[in-house]
Structure 1
Amino acid sequence: MGIVEILGVAGSVSLLAGWRLYLCIFATGLAMRLDALPVPEHLTSLAILENPWVMGIAALGAVAEFFADKVMWLDTIWDTVHTLLRPIGGALLALAIVDPSDPAMQVIAFMLGGGASLAAHGGKAGARAVVNTSPEPVSNIAVSTAEDVATVGLLYAAYEYPYWAAAIAAVLLALTIWLLITARRIIRRIFSFGKPQEIPPPR
């Protein structure tokens, strides 16, 4: 793979880790262990993900996140706790994907991976905070399930079709920016609702 494809895969995985860090780690490790994901030479450092201990901890985290993310307001607490963990995890995943013999590329991947995961985490947390304003739990469960399915599907697509990984990363980034802007507008509207309007002085 060329540099564009490698950065595309790293970007896609980092962005998805901002949504579902444990699921990304477990799904990647499981696919490698079942030989469903042949690991090219430049991705050999990802082999640590198929370690039974790593997979076990990631599986426990993924299960806990699966349920916590579907309970109103508990998902916001979970997101808050993971504000630091997801960007670090995304940065490390990106670091594992690039060629270890190229220090400059590793630094770039680490910074971009951490930034991408932080942005995706912010978009997810903001969107879920808006969803939590709904009094019924169906919206929360539906959005969370959609995130689960999208994470697995896009993660598979990024690894299986690396030439499309850059496009996947670009779409995920655009979605993240849209979520951040939309959540900001809605939250601002919610907090401004009910405030007394200033009456202009008579002329």
Structure 2
Amino acid sequence: MAIVVEHDKRKHEILQKSLDVFIDEGYEDATFQKIADRCGITRTTLYIYFKNKHEIFLGSIKALLSDLEIKLKSIMKDETLSAEVLLRKVLRLLAASCEENKKLYNVLLNYLMQLKKSGIDTNERVRRRTIRLRHLMSTILIKGIQNKEFKDLNVKDLNEILYGLLEAGMFRIAVLNQNNISEIDNALNTVVDSIKM
């Protein structure tokens, strides 16, 4: 009797477990064999789902971002929240995500540095991955301005300030090895306080 394999479920499990391999080993030292071993499958089976390590890594990052996006959308669905509370909740979730994924940001930073050395525009790569996040924050800011909760300031500039603070938090965690980003969290709240009407 043949064993029925749920391919989408298995692919998702591989992406989750491979993320641990990248975190534990680093991007350079993570191998197809190590990923297959962690997943309890053979390399041949792993090749059914992915062409190479790069594809697995990008899939793992995309899965992590998708999970974060689901949480963000859940917050956004609550129409009872004011724009201010909404913005604070979203920023807190993003800051907490930075803390929770400290090791991943180290791997991601090393990966981006490798791309940069090979002449790839890392800014464009990161921008493509974060465009939805930037749009989400702009949506909240616009809602707050329209509802007279926030001052009528340039949304693009505000978005850059908030996003820049989040990037600073990631830098502090990935490069400076800080264990938390409470200072960034405080700075984000100060910005929200300063734009309130």
TM-score, normalization: structure 2? 0.31
Q: Which has the higher contact order (CA 8 A, sep 6+)?
A: 1
TM-score, normalization: structure 1? 0.30
